[in-house]
Amino acid sequence: MPFHHVPVMTREVLHYLKPGQGHVFVDGTLGGSGHARAILERLPPDGVFIGIDWDREAIAHAQQALKPYAHRMHLFHGNFTQLPDCLRRLNVPAVDGILLDLGVSLQQLEYAGKGFSFNKDEPLDMRMDERTSLKAEDLVNELPENALADLFKTFGEERWAKKIAKSVVRARARRRIQSSLELARLVSRAVPMKRPVSRRIHPATRVFMALRIAVNRELENLRIFLDRAVDVLNPSGRLCILSFHSLEDRMVKTRFRGMADPCICPPGFPRCTCRRKPTLHILTKKPVRPTEEEVRANPMARSARMRVAVRLGTDASKDDEKSVKMEAHA
């Protein structure tokens, strides 16, 4: 399968992750290895790179594409939620930078043959890791109508969720829906068309995204990862997350804030009595967005939002915090 993914916001990722400064860097979503290569090119010769992806093809591709760096690289076929296990196996207690570039890669969309794209006639599978059992076809054919509508509404933010769910249920009563094109056509017929086709995203975009998120438990994985990542970051280590969905971005924002300001004293309390200490300092108060130039060159970057935070010292002293803040403004 060809791999020609153009990595999103590489310049910004490198700016914040600063791979030259640390020794151990993790890319939890290797995909087409675009970010991985950029990080490896900047990593000092004694630096170590750890790459994870739960798509077997992405790992096989990385083994070839990153061959010149094989002596200082470790690749894992697995879920990024398993990062602490990977580190234990390598005897690495903590790392200096972690990148997640969430979602689906271009090669998965175009060449995986798993029904990620509404433009192709493929089996409705959508599993990024074929070791998991639930397929998109199971959800489409077996979820009750209101659960399907909820799924399209919540994960896809689809305005016509109920209408689409109704059409799906009517169609599947005749025969099982098995292909991506069949589903895409069904969705297109169910939603009212107002704007000319050229000015709209494909009517099935949101439904396909919702199914992919549900099949791969993408929000659940992100939540587990955020709970674990900070414990495996060295002081001053950076956590950089690129998301493409508002629910993901909101989860990153809320979790970062919770770790940057963990105080649980009631609002208006004159003095903190809970004595919880911050573990993170947020470097991006607002999410960083791709430049217009990048979006023109690579429309897949359109909805990207990047948030970055830095791990404070283990006792999170005020001095640590101050120096990190100064660096953030430099």
Among residues 81, 65, 182, the alpha carbon closest in space to that of 129 is found at 81
Stretch binding ligand SAM (CB under 6 A), from 25-33, 141-149, 184-192, 196-204: 25-33
Query: Could you tell me the smallest distance in angstroms from the CB atom of residue 76 to ligand SAM?
Result: 9
From the list 16, 22, 83, 101, which residue makes contact with ligand SAM (rule: CB under 6 A)? 101
By CB under 6 A, is residue 51 in contact with ligand SAM?
Answer: no
Cα–Cα distance, 330 to 326 (Å, whole number): 6
Amino acid identity for residue 255 in this structure: R
- Are 104 and 58 in contact by the 8 Å Cβ rule? The answer is no
CA dist 170 → 77, 157, 159 (Å)? 39, 22, 19
Residue 276 DSSP class: -
Amino acid identity for residue 127 in this structure: R
Amino acid identity for residue 109 in this structure: L
By CB under 6 A, is residue 103 in contact with ligand SAM?
Answer: yes
Query: Could you tell me the smallest distance in angstroms from the CB atom of residue 319 to ligand SAM?
Result: 35
By CB under 6 A, is residue 290 in contact with ligand SAM?
Answer: no
By CB under 6 A, is residue 125 in contact with ligand SAM?
Answer: no
Stretch binding ligand SAM (CB under 6 A), from 48-56, 65-73, 309-317, 319-327: 48-56
The H or E element spanning position 259 is helix 246-260
Q: Which residue, 4 or 329, is less far from ligand SAM as judged by CB?
A: 4
Q: Which residue, 52 or 149, is less far from ligand SAM as judged by CB?
A: 52
Stretch binding ligand SAM (CB under 6 A), from 33-41, 130-138, 163-171, 182-190: 33-41
Per DSSP, helices labelled H in 112-245 are 136-142, 145-156, 161-174, 180-190, 205-215, 218-229
Helix axes 205-215, 218-229, angle to 10 degrees: 50
From the list 19, 22, 32, 237, which residue makes contact with ligand SAM (rule: CB under 6 A)? 32
By CB under 6 A, is residue 141 in contact with ligand SAM?
Answer: no
Chain residues that interact with ligand SAM, rule: CB under 6 A: 5, 7, 29, 31-35, 52-55, 58, 79-80, 101, 103, 105, 128, 221
